A = this chain, B = another copy of it.
Amino acid sequence: MDRIVEMSVDPNMKSTKIIAYTLNDLIQDLDVTLKGNPNCLINGVSPIQQAQPGHITFLTNSQYRKYLTTTKASAVICTEADATDCPVNAIISRNPYFTYAKIAGFFATEFTSSAGIHPTAVIGENCQIDPRAQIGANCVIGRDVIIGAEVVIGPGCMIADGVHINDATQLDSHVTLYHHIKIGKRTRIASGAVIGSDGFGFANQKGVWHKVPQLGSVHIGDDVDIGANTTIDRGAVEDTVIHNGAKLDNLIQIGHNVHIGMNTIIAGCVAIAGSTVIGNNCMIGGGTCFAGHITICDNAMITGMTAVTKSITTPGVYSSGIVGAVPNKEFRKNNARFHRLDNLIQRVKALETALKERKDS
């Protein structure tokens, strides 16, 4: 593929290279149809309402369709139906967001990182670190650690004894891995994530809580994503397991012994209590909490801020809580009514009885 590189003429950014690709370059290997000029040069990506000539954009959310006919972008990734109204080059896809994901990759910042261990990193005894791996500055690696090929460990990561990280996995800076964690291939862990801290297990004896040793570990599969400052506790006896392809956002809490199924995706600030098992291909909205020791079947979708207290056995969309912010005055009235809901039922029952008595009399 040809990559066209031009030097910018903007004197304020005179050392910045502007890289441009033809539309034809961008759609190689993609299952799409181009309606327009394959030689049109694209030098950046923008939202549809802000795009400028030279940019490519995408339309996947109907909320933004109103901007389609007036977009200044040079090309739009969209469905066949939307392409009808597209005033510029259209890349027609059955899955425009996926097509966008692939094309956006051309414009991602490239970091020139070189393999090897930074001289300030502290490495324990008996480690097996692939020469194609990269260990950042000020990392501390324990003993008996195995790190595969093309693994990137960002600066300041703390990796305890006996950890095993497979090929092409990437840890951003400030990641903590406790002892004996196992991580698969091509997994990414964002900064501040803590994997393998002790599960929250205490036995109460005469009013005092005694720590229950957490003997399990954490096993993270291939192609998993773990967000910033997310915490995943090690198992109490068995391992906590994050299966292949699962995607976890930021500030999520995963309790001990939890299993997250394959390709399940979890938004930020979700809390999953110990020993709960989430199936494959689930989608979980932000702020949702799960009780412990329950099982969620495959293909369940849970909306945000739900309190899941029992197992779910049938695929579908599930919710709880009261959502939708309303003026506080109205809220307070209904909130108070809710707290007397049982009383309301009694009043309706009384009415039913009274009416029935009338009818009978």
Q: Contact residues of A with B, CB < 8 Å?
A: 45-47, 50, 61, 63, 95, 97-98, 100-102, 104-105, 107-109, 111, 118, 120, 122, 136-138, 140, 154-156, 158, 160-161, 172-174, 176, 178-180, 188, 190-192, 194, 197-198, 200-205, 207-213, 215, 225, 227-229, 231, 233, 237-238, 245, 247, 249-251, 253, 255, 263, 265, 267-269, 271, 273, 281, 286-287, 289, 291, 293, 301-310, 312, 316-335, 337-339, 341-342, 344-345, 347-348, 351-352, 354-355, 358-359
Contact = CB atoms under 8 A, between A and B. Distances in A.
A176 B197 contact: no
A192 B172 contact: no
Contacts of A95: 203-205
Contacts of A318: 325-328, 331
Contacts of A176: 172-174, 191-192, 228
Contact of A237 (B45, B209, B253): B45
Question: Chain B CB within 10 Å — which of A108, A178, A231, A250 has the most?
Answer: A250
Contacts of A101: 201-203, 210-213
Nearest to A323: B307
A273 B104 CA distance: 21
Contact of A351 (B202, B322, B331, B351): B351
B174 A178 contact: no
A237 B47 contact: yes
Contact of A347 (B286, B333, B348): B348
16 contacts: A46-B237, A97-B212, A98-B210, A109-B215, A111-B161, A122-B137, A122-B155, A190-B197, A207-B263, A209-B247, A233-B250, A267-B273, A334-B341, A337-B344, A338-B341, A348-B351
A322 B190 CA distance: 33
A308 B338 CA distance: 16
B190 A191 contact: no
Contacts of A324: 307-310, 320, 335, 339
Contacts of A192: 176, 192, 194, 229, 231
Given A97-B203, A137-B122, A104 B289 contact: no
Interface centre among A61, A267, A312 (most CB of B within 10 A): A267
Contacts of A138: 122, 138, 140, 156
A102 B339 CA distance: 43
B307 A61 contact: no
B289 A286 contact: yes
